[in-house]
């Protein structure tokens, strides 16, 4: 793979307006424009009320998907600029054509901003709730690959669908940003899926968007991994988006737990201090009376250290990444990996599986399949019987956009209903479910 291709600032759906000379003379880079378009988009704003770790948080300092995405984007920008400076030294021709380290930072920042944009209400429990519904239901005429898409609701593929949706969002992002966003550049069923490749652990696009991704992969020059299925190597900058997300999950979820008194500040310090080693000034820390300020200082120092370590690993493996030989999370190889593994293990036991979190996540297994069944049954009744369908079905379809009701392809219609439900915020989903069940009006 070649950086000249990988940094393409052509826009999906707007290629006919591409003018390289005009683009170079703009005060904002194309990748900065991507970032701004995402910030002002409706799906991004909805992240303010979607589950992060503590569902429907009662505390204003607990992170939602929105604040998490903004922080991942900030960390991603730092990683991108670090790596960009190295790449420009290695490939002077890129600088001669006008690329700067800020371009790398802006691409990673924009892709990081959208990394959770496809998540349904209630996070992973919401994904599983939607997926399990299709174990006993298969839309008429659905192919095996289309059914596999439904059996494994994938937030990454849903996010790609949102970003490519020219009818609703019309973001028309650059190829570079869309490629960097795609953490799993393959379809749901591929031949010889490798457990050694992190990029094949899940899938990154549904059958409904496979041609869009094929077009992106060809434009960027991504390395194909299969002759008979749609599967490519990652865009190199995707490793930085993944690292930014990993860093924020590790450190900031732990910070939330400390601020909520789920764990003590002493335990927080005990877990993160080894990453900093001799750089921890305990005298200075103990002189700060406000516990939240102490937590914030440690968090900032740890993130800065992990950003540097992940940047170093990327630069050390840059050639292997371009050749498709490297396919592991950067955070697995950093100097502090043993310490971050300990944090991850502790968080899994004491934060992600706390009683409060599990109780509220249970709603995801009830609410989302309930909404899915409610809408699918009504739309299918209307498809079969038209205005002679039941009064319940007729009332239901009137709540849905006409584009869903009129779609004749069962798979695409199902995808659109999932779009509608997965796009809801946590509170909207709960309130809507309560209303249709007659629990509240």
List pLDDT tens digits, range 263-281. Answer: 888 898 889 989 988 777 7
Please state, in angstroms and rounded to a whole number, the distance separating the CA atoms of residues 223 and 186. 12
Q: What percent of the chain has pLDDT over 70?
A: 91
Pick from 178-187, 245-254, 259-268, 330-339: least confident:
259-268
Reported as a pLDDT band with limits 50, 70 and 90, residue 57 is very low
Tell me if 10 sits within 8 A of 219, measured CB to CB: yes
- Per the model's pLDDT, the better-predicted residue between 239 and 17 turns out to be 239
- How many whole angstroms separate alpha carbon 79 and alpha carbon 306? 10
pLDDT top residue among 203 and 361? 203
pLDDT above 80 for 157: yes
Prediction pTM value: 0.91
What band does 294 get if pLDDT is binned at 50, 70 and 90?
A: confident
State the Cα–Cα distance between residues 53 and 62, nearest whole angstrom.
9
Nearest to 298 by CA among 286, 314, 311, 313: 286
| Token pair for 77 | 């920008």
Q: What is the pLDDT of residue 55?
A: 44
At residue 17, the pLDDT reads: 60
CB 316 within 8 A of CB 287: no
CATH H superfamily, domain 3-119+148-220: Hypothetical protein af1432 (1.10.3210.10)
- 240-353: CATH topology: putative deoxyguanosinetriphosphate triphosphohydrolase fold (1.10.3410)
Give the torsion sign (CA, 202, 204, 207, 210): negative
SS3 state of residue 232? strand
Instruction: Return the percentage of the chain with pLDDT > 90, whole number.
Output: 57
168 vs 72, higher pLDDT: 72
Q: Which residues contact 434 (CB under 8 A, 6 or more apart)?
A: 440
Ranges of beta strands (E only) in 319-364 are none
Cα–Cα distance between 89 and 349 in angstroms, integer? 44
The distance in angstroms from the start CA to the end CA of the chain is: 57
Q: What is the mean pLDDT of residues 323-330?
A: 96
Q: What contacts 92, CB < 8 A, 6 or more positions away? A: none
Q: How many other C-beta atoms are found inside a 10 Å radius of the C-beta of residue 324?
A: 18
CA angle, residues 26, 32, 35, in degrees to nearest 5: 145
Q: What is the DSSP letter of 382?
A: H
Q: Does residue 19 or residue 60 have the better pLDDT?
A: 19
Confidence of residue 63 (pLDDT cuts 50, 70, 90): low
Q: What is the chain's length?
A: 441
Section 23-30 average pLDDT: 73
Give me the residue spans of the domains in the chain: 3-119+148-220, 240-353
Cβ neighbours, 10 Å, residue 316: 14
């Amino acid at each position: 793979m070649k950086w000249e291709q990988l940094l393409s600032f052509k826009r999906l759906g707007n290629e006919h307006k591409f003018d390289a000379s005009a683009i170079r003379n703009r005060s904002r880079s194309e990748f900065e424009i991507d970032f701004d378009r995402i910030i002002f988009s409706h799906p991004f704003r909805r992240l303010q009320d979607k589950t992060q770790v503590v569902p429907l948080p009662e505390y204003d300092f607990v992170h939602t998907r929105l604040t998490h995405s903004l922080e991942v984007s900030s960390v991603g920008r730092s990683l991108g600029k670090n790596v960009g400076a190295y790449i420009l030294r290695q490939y002077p021709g890129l600088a001669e054509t006008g690329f700067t380290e800020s371009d790398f930072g802006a691409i990673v920042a924009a892709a990081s901003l959208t990394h959770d944009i496809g998540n349904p209400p209630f996070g992973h429990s919401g994904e599983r709730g939607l997926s399990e519904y299709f174990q006993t239901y298969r839309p008429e005429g659905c192919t095996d690959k289309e059914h596999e898409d439904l059996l494994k609701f994938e937030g990454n593929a849903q996010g790609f669908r949102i970003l490519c949706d020219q009818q609703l969002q019309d973001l028309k992002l650059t190829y570079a940003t869309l490629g960097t966003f795609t953490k799993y550049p393959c379809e749901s069923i591929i031949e010889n899926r490798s457990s050694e490749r992190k990029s094949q652990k899940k899938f990154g696009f549904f059958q409904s968007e496979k041609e869009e991704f094929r077009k992106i992969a060809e434009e960027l020059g991504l390395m194909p991994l299969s002759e008979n299925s749609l599967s490519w190597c990652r865009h190199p900058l995707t490793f930085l988006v993944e690292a930014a997300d990993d860093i924020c999950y590790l450190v900031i979820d732990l910070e939330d737990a400390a601020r909520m008194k789920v764990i003590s500040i002493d335990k927080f310090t005990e877990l993160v201090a080894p990453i900093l080693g001799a750089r921890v000034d305990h005298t200075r820390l103990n002189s700060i009376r406000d516990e939240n300020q102490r937590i914030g200082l440690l968090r900032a120092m740890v993130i800065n250290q992990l950003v540097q370590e992940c940047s170093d690993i990327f630069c050390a493996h840059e050639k292997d990444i371009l050749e498709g030989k490297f396919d592991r999370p950067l955070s697995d190889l950093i100097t502090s990996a043993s310490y971050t593994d300990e944090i991850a293990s502790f968080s899994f036991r004491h934060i992600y599986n706390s009683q409060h979190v599990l109780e509220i996540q249970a709603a995801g297994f009830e609410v989302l399949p309930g909404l899915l069944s409610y809408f699918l049954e009504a739309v299918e009744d209307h498809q079969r019987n038209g205005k002679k369908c039941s009064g319940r079905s007729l009332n239901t379809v009137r709540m849905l956009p006409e584009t869903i009701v009129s779609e004749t392809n069962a798979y695409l219609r199902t995808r659109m209903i999932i779009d509608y439900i997965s796009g809801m915020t946590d509170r909207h989903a709960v309130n809507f479910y309560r209303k249709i069940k007659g629990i509240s009006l």
